[in-house]
Amino acid sequence: MPASSIDQVGDLLAAAESATGLNCPSCGSFHVAQVLGDNGGVSYVCTACGHSWS
């Protein structure tokens, strides 16, 4: 059991990150946004470093 609320939040974030498995190929961050691409496809943007890919 986590010792504090901050520990609990950290545990929840870690679980969410591992569940999605989507991380930036450039910097490795899990802070990734899914966006609609120009041609209607799906693209991804890392909110940590700005790298984008599809």
Encode pLDDT of 2-47 as tens digits: 567 777 777 766 666 555 679 999 999 999 999 997 788 999 999 9
Instruction: Please state whether beta strands 52-53 and 42-46 pair in parallel, antiparallel, or not at all (unpaired).
Output: antiparallel
pLDDT given for residue 1 in this prediction? 55
Q: What's the CA gap between 40 and 52, in Å, rounded?
A: 15
- Global pTM reads 0.59
The DSSP element (H or E) to which 32 belongs, if any, is: strand 32-36
